[in-house]
Amino acid sequence: MKRKKEKLNVVKPKKQLFYELKEYEKKGCRLYLNGKPSVPEKIVSACLREKTDYMRDFISDEQERIQKVDFIRVKEK
């Protein structure tokens, strides 16, 4: 029973991140994972499955509209 509860706790953040990334895509924003073009499914999988943290790097144009979001793996020393 506890295992099922843990899984439910992961589903909500997963869906939230997925829908957030889909919205960026709809607005014409390019998505990257560690500097390489990516898609929401791969980014969500990496962020929630791996035991490392990811930092978002937002790149904007001259009008300060977000053009690119790069999820960069943060390595601890």
Highest mean pLDDT (candidates 5-14, 23-32, 51-60): 23-32
Domain ranges, ordered by start, for the chain: 2-74
HEC-encoded secondary structure of the chain: CHHHHHHHHHHHHHHHHHHHHHHHHHCCCEEEECCEECCHHHHHHHHHHCCCEEEEEEEECCCCCEEEEEEEEECCC
The rounded radius of gyration (Å) of the Cα atoms in the chain is: 14
pLDDT tens sequence across 15-37: 899 999 999 999 999 999 999 99
pLDDT band at 4 (very low <50, low <70, confident <90, very high): very low
pLDDT band at 48 (very low <50, low <70, confident <90, very high): confident
Is the pTM higher than 0.95? The answer reads: no
